[in-house]
């Protein structure tokens, strides 16, 4: 594991200083769009996954990462990814959701720009996405007890006038953040009338024909009756 040589290199520094080092909070931004798509970005100090107690390590310089082989760099990023997968659980309406694969890239911890050889403090920028269904309205983040630092969560959505933020500590769950209105139910449409069956139509026509014939016969009977009983003219 690459973290072991790094820790050994830092032993002289640790021996020369008995005070704990300051580890910054993990910055997390959750940004939601109108279509319910959420993008989460995390600014992670590698000390959070390199040591059981991150405060016992000084800031990690860029040279530690840049001097690694491509395979070692990939393994380091995987360490950061696994740490975040255990530490962060997104919730929609209180239910756990599975986000996309977390992408992890090295950055300059001072200005969040791409890593440079002269970067004094290495950080990692992690990104993942999730898609909320139309009926979901609130987002929360469960921050596991396995996390090594507190976190500052920034949240934005089309419903919020600005960024909403809160501090969460390991073992806590953030307050519900409303990021969209529930989808309006689609009114149920009435089924189209069924076309009259041929048998029903024939039945109706038959009744009409019978009535016409009966009426005609009755009319003829009426005429014959009156002719037979008509008084002769004088």
Tell me the C-alpha distance between 42 and 22, whole Å. Answer: 19
Terminal CA-CA length for the chain: 138
Q: Which of 180, 170, 38, 177 is nearest to 99 (CA)?
A: 38
Backbone φ, ψ for residue 94 (5° rounding): 85, 0
Predicted pLDDT at 223: 62
Predicted pLDDT at 123: 97
> Global pTM?
0.71
Predicted pLDDT at 76: 97
Predicted pLDDT at 186: 65
State the SS3 of the chain: CCHHHHHHHHHHHHHHCCCCCCCCCEEEEEEECCCCEEEEEEEECCHHHHCCCHHHCCCCCHHHHHCCCHHHHHHHHHHHHHHHHHHEEEEECCEECCCCCCEEEEEECCCCCECCCCCCCEEEEEEEEEECCCCCCEEEEEECCCCCCCEEEEEECCCCCCCEEEEECCCCECCCEECCCCCCCCCCCCCCCCCCCHHHHHHHHHHHHHHHHHHHHHHHHHHHHHHHCCCCCC
Tell me the C-alpha distance between 56 and 113, whole Å. Answer: 26
Block mean pLDDT (10 aa), the chain, length 234: 48 50 93 95 97 93 96 97 97 94 96 94 97 95 96 94 92 96 72 62 71 68 59 54
């Amino acid at each position: 594991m690459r973290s072991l040589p790094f820790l050994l290199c830092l032993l002289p520094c640790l021996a020369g200083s008995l005070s704990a080092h300051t580890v910054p909070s993990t910055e997390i931004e959750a940004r939601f769009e109108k279509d319910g798509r959420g993008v989460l970005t995390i600014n992670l100090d590698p000390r959070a996954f390199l040591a059981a107690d991150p405060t016992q390590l000084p800031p990690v310089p860029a040279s530690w990462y840049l001097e690694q082989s491509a395979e070692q760099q990939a393994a380091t990023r995987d360490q950061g990814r696994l740490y975040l997968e255990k530490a962060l659980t997104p919730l929609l309406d209180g239910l756990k959701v599975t986000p996309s694969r977390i992408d992890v890239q090295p950055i300059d911890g001072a200005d969040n720009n791409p890593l440079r050889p002269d970067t004094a403090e290495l950080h990692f920028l992690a990104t993942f996405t999730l898609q909320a269904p139309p009926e979901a309205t609130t987002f929360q983040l469960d921050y596991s007890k396995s996390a090594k630092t507190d976190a500052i969560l920034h949240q934005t959505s089309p419903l919020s006038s600005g960024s909403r933020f809160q501090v969460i500590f390991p073992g806590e769950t953030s307050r519900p953040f409303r990021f969209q209105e529930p989808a309006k139910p689609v009114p149920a449409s009435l089924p189209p009338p069924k076309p009259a069956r041929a048998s029903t139509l024939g039945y109706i026509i038959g009744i009409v024909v019978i009535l016409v014939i009966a009426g005609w016969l009755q009319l003829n009977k009426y005429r014959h009756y009156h002719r037979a009983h008509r008084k002769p003219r004088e």
